[in-house]
């Protein structure tokens, strides 16, 4: 029986790999990415040398991050936030983000979004089955949305302006959860220094990457410790006392090495785990929504 | 003799991929279970090699392969618990469909999906042991671990695979004890 199983493994992998060829551009892509990372490292090392020293003194010598209100904490927060913003900007241009959104109180539901510079695709999985998919393509001042409902075998396509999206009218289909929703916006709108209600001016805010940019830029978060997220050393940023009156609180974990966000937890609401993938052709393809299956009825 | 620069390492990598790239991408696909993930894994391995050109020894293919296998065995992309569980749910759904003889059973596709459910190290060992036909000693050297660890990973990987494949093969999994003798006689 074991021989039969191993033979099946061998045959399956032979079948899977049969005829596969290496992409011609793979080596060039790898060289380009290595050079780019080297340039970023050099730039970061040059401009931030003094601040790094201050942070190292703070974090290493004391063995912990300064408490909120201490002189060092403001400087450390400014350092971490500026590096996280810079890392987000770079990643927004050259990486694909993969966001795993786990809604609170909705056991068995998982939302996964892949976002590239112009496109986002989202899948909703309930009890292990794909029940919905959605996505959008960014145009000049609007977004082309497509949503697919696998349970009812229907789909729809709409063009929505950024203003409509920000004011949340009409309500978006569940598959549009790739867009920051009311919980996320509530935090920004209730916090001093953050964009208030009303039409948006920053097109980036339709995406989670753009939302994180806004969240970092309005100084609502401050360094609140460190830890590990899925084994990665991370810095914990949490909503500061200035935002205490907001009904939503947030904890953002950023990588200690790259400063890219790893996890955002909104209370109440959900948790988003983020991965940053290289912008390979295969990863960029994940950001594009697939056409609805044949036989699905179009609603709008 | 000076250390090789990234430029010369890049040229060597280019030559390697030109001549042996298809074999490498097939190994990466087997390790990951899909073409797109295999491509990403191979690119990640090449990038890692390029970042440390001084570590390249005389046999660059062996070095790239070692990097490839170790990235795969270490999980390569750190996954959240949800990411680990989701394929499980998907495959379980797929497995029940595959059991339906009218659905056009494809055992090979199902087996690839089942392989992806194994922990990265077990999957890597299974691929090296039963697809690349490497000995336990070779695998231990490639992954930088003991032969006992390789033997254990192969044993538990096969047993888990047998459990997962039971619905497809329409039989009960054998107990662990039945597999043990077969995992001890590695060539």
Residue of A nearest to B173 (CA): A1
Task: Say if residue B90 is in the same domain as residue B175.
Answer: yes
Task: Say if residue B112 is in the same domain as residue B35.
Answer: no
- Please determine, for residue B116, whether its predicted confidence score (pLDDT) is greater than 60: yes
- With CB atoms and an 8 Å threshold, state whether B46 touches A15: no
First vs last C-alpha separation in chain B: 39
- Asked if A221 contacts A240 with a C-beta cutoff of 8 angstroms, the reply is yes
Copy the structure tokens of residue B182. Answer: 């077969």
- Confidence bin at A182 (pLDDT 50/70/90): low
Q: Is B111 on the interface with A (CB under 8 A)?
A: yes
CATH number at residue B101: 1.10.10.10
> Cα(B115)–Cα(B127) distance, rounded to whole angstroms?
9
Site from B53, B98, B130 to mutate, A interface, most A CB atoms within 10 angstroms: B130
The dihedral sign for the CA sequence A254, A255, A258, A263: negative
What number of residues does chain A have?
Answer: 300
Q: Is A16 on the interface with B (CB under 8 A)?
A: yes
- Rounded alpha-carbon distances, angstroms, from residue A1 to A295, B99, B101, B175: 43, 19, 22, 12
Place of tokens 């948006």: A200
Q: Is B187 on the interface with A (CB under 8 A)?
A: no
- Rounded alpha-carbon distances, angstroms, from residue B92 to A124, A131, B57, B173: 17, 16, 44, 16
CB pairs under 8 A between A and B: 144
Average pLDDT over every residue of B103-131: 83
Task: Say if residue B111 is in the same domain as residue B166.
Answer: yes
CATH number at residue B33: 1.10.1740
> Cα(B128)–Cα(B141) distance, rounded to whole angstroms?
12
Task: Say if residue B161 is in the same domain as residue B100.
Answer: yes
- Asked if A183 contacts A209 with a C-beta cutoff of 8 angstroms, the reply is no
Residue A264's beta-bridge partner residues?
A252, A272
Higher-pLDDT residue of B87, A295: A295
| pLDDT tens string A280-291 | 888 889 888 888
Copy the structure tokens of residue A55. Answer: 């942070």
Q: Which domain holds residue B52?
A: 6-73
Q: Strand, coil or helix: what is A253?
A: strand
Q: What is the mean pLDDT of chain A?
A: 74
Name the burial class of residue A11, with classes exposed (0-12), middle (13-18) and buried (19+) by CB atoms within 10 angstroms of its CB: middle
Among B24, B40, B73, which residue terminates a domain?
B73
> Cα(A94)–Cα(A68) distance, rounded to whole angstroms?
34
- With CB atoms and an 8 Å threshold, state whether A17 touches B29: yes
pLDDT of res. B148: 92
- Rounded alpha-carbon distances, angstroms, from residue B14 to A64, B19, B35: 46, 9, 20
Q: Could you give the percent of chain B with pLDDT greater than 70? A: 70
- Rounded alpha-carbon distances, angstroms, from residue A199 to A68, A189, A206, A214, A292: 33, 12, 12, 14, 31
Other CB atoms within 10 Å distance of the CB of residue A291: 9
Q: Is B38 on the interface with A (CB under 8 A)?
A: yes
Q: Look at strands A270-278 and A95-103 and give their pairing.
A: antiparallel
| pLDDT tens string A105-126 | 666 777 888 888 888 888 888 8
pLDDT of res. B94: 42
Place of tokens 């060092």: A72
Q: Which positions in chain A touch B126 (Cβ < 8 Å)? A: 9
- Asked if B114 contacts B91 with a C-beta cutoff of 8 angstroms, the reply is yes
Q: Is A230 on the interface with B (CB under 8 A)?
A: yes
pLDDT of res. B124: 94
Q: Could you give the percent of chain A with pLDDT greater than 90? A: 6
Q: Is A22 on the interface with B (CB under 8 A)?
A: yes
Structurally, chain B folds into a number of domains equal to: 2
| pLDDT tens string A29-88 | 888 777 776 655 544 444 444 444 444 344 433 444 545 444 456 778 888 888 999 888
Task: Say if residue B36 is in the same domain as residue B104.
Answer: no
Q: Which helix (H) or strand (E) holds A155?
A: strand A154-161
> Cα(A123)–Cα(A175) distance, rounded to whole angstroms?
7
> Cα(B130)–Cα(B134) distance, rounded to whole angstroms?
7
pLDDT of res. A241: 53
Indicate the DSSP class of residue B108: H
Among B73, B98, B114, which residue terminates a domain?
B73
| Of the partner residues A2, A16, A275, the one whose CB lies closest to the CB of residue B179 | A2
Q: Is B30 on the interface with A (CB under 8 A)?
A: yes
How close does chain A come to B110, measured CA to CA in Å? 9
Task: Say if residue B95 is in the same domain as residue B64.
Answer: no
Site from B4, B12, B50, B61 to mutate, A interface, most A CB atoms within 10 angstroms: B50
DSSP per residue over A17-56, as a string? HTT----TTHHHHHHHHHHHHHHHHHHHHHHTHHHHHHHH
Task: Say if residue B62 is in the same domain as residue B110.
Answer: no
Q: Is A167 on the interface with B (CB under 8 A)?
A: no
- Asked if A138 contacts A203 with a C-beta cutoff of 8 angstroms, the reply is yes
| pLDDT tens string B129-184 | 999 999 999 999 989 899 999 999 999 999 999 888 887 776 444 444 434 333 33
pLDDT of res. A180: 62
First vs last C-alpha separation in chain A: 54
Lowest average pLDDT, out of A141-155, A240-254, B26-40, B95-109, goes to: B95-109
Phi, psi of A226, deg, nearest 5: -145, 170
- Give residues 79 to 98 of B whose Cβ lies within 8 Å of A: 79-80, 82-83, 86, 88-90, 92-93
Any domain includes B1: no
- Asked if A124 contacts A132 with a C-beta cutoff of 8 angstroms, the reply is yes
Write down the pTM of the prediction.
0.47
- Please determine, for residue A207, whether its predicted confidence score (pLDDT) is greater than 50: yes
Place of tokens 């208030």: A196
| Of the partner residues A22, A128, A278, the one whose CB lies closest to the CB of residue B22 | A22
Q: Which positions in chain B touch A275 (Cβ < 8 Å)? A: 77-78
Task: Say if residue B49 is in the same domain as residue B10.
Answer: yes
Q: Strand, coil or helix: what is A138?
A: strand
pLDDT of res. B136: 92
Task: Say if residue B87 is in the same domain as residue B168.
Answer: yes
Task: Say if residue B90 is in the same domain as residue B48.
Answer: no
Lowest average pLDDT, out of A14-18, A255-259, B92-96, goes to: B92-96
Task: Say if residue B104 is in the same domain as residue B139.
Answer: yes
Alpha carbon of residue A10 to chain centroid: 37
pLDDT of res. A164: 65
Question: Domain A27-298: which topology?
Answer: outer membrane lipoprotein receptor (LolB), chain A (2.50.20)
Site from A4, A20, A23 to mutate, B interface, most B CB atoms within 10 angstroms: A20
Task: Say if residue B103 is in the same domain as residue B58.
Answer: no
Q: What is the ipTM of this complex?
A: 0.75
């Amino acid at each position: 029986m074991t021989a039969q199983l191993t033979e099946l493994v061998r045959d399956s992998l032979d079948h899977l790999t049969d005829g596969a060829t290496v992409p011609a551009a793979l080596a060039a892509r790898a060289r380009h990415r290595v050079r780019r990372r080297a340039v970023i490292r050099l730039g970061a090392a040059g401009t931030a040398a003094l601040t790094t020293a201050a942070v190292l003194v703070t974090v290493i010598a004391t063995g912990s991050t300064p408490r909120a209100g201490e002189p060092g904490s403001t400087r450390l927060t400014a350092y971490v936030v500026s590096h996280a913003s810079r890392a987000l900007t770079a990643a927004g241009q050259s990486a694909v983000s993969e966001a795993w959104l786990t809604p609170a109180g909705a056991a068995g539901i998982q939302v996964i979004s892949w976002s590239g510079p112009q496109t986002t695709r989202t899948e909703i999985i309930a009890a292990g089955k794909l029940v919905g998919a959605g996505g959008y393509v960014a145009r000049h001042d609007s977004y082309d949305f497509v949503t697919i409902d696998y349970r009812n075998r229907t789909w729809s396509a709409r063009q929505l302006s950024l203003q409509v999206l920000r004011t949340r009218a009409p309500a978006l289909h569940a598959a549009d959860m790739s867009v920051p929703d009311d919980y996320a916006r509530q935090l920004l709108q209730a916090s001093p220094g953050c964009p208030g209600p009303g039409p948006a001016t920053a097109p980036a805010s339709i995406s989670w990457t753009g939302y994180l940019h806004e969240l970092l830029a309005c100084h609502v978060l401050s360094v609140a410790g460190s830890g590990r997220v899925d084994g990665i050393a991370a810095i914990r940023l949490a909503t500061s006392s200035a935002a205490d009156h907001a009904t939503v609180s947030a904890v953002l974990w950023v990588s200690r090495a790259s400063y890219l966000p790893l996890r955002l937890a909104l209370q109440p609401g959900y948790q988003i785990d983020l991965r940053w993938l290289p912008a390979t052709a295969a990863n960029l393809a994940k950001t594009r929504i697939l056409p609805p299956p044949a036989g699905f009825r179009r609603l709008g | 003799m000076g250390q090789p620069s990234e430029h010369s390492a890049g040229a060597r990598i280019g030559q390697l991929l030109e001549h042996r790239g298809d074999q490498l991408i097939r190994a990466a696909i087997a390790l990951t279970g899909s073409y797109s993930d295999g491509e990403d894994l191979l690119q990640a391995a090449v990038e890692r090699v390029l970042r440390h050109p001084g570590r390249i020894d005389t046999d660059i293919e062996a070095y790239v392969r070692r990097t490839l296998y170790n990235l795969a065995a270490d999980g390569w992309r750190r996954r959240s618990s949800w990411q680990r569980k989701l394929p499980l749910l998907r495959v379980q759904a797929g497995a029940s469909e595959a059991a339906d003889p009218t659905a056009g059973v494809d055992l090979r596709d199902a087996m690839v999906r089942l392989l992806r459910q194994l922990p990265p190290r077990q999957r890597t060992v299974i691929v090296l042991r039963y697809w690349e036909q490497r000995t336990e000693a070779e695998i231990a050297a490639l992954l930088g671990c003991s032969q006992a660890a390789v033997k254990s990973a192969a044993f538990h990987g096969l047993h888990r695979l047998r459990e997962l494949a039971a619905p497809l093969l329409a039989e009960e999994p054998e107990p662990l004890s039945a597999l043990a003798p077969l995992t001890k006689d590695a060539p």
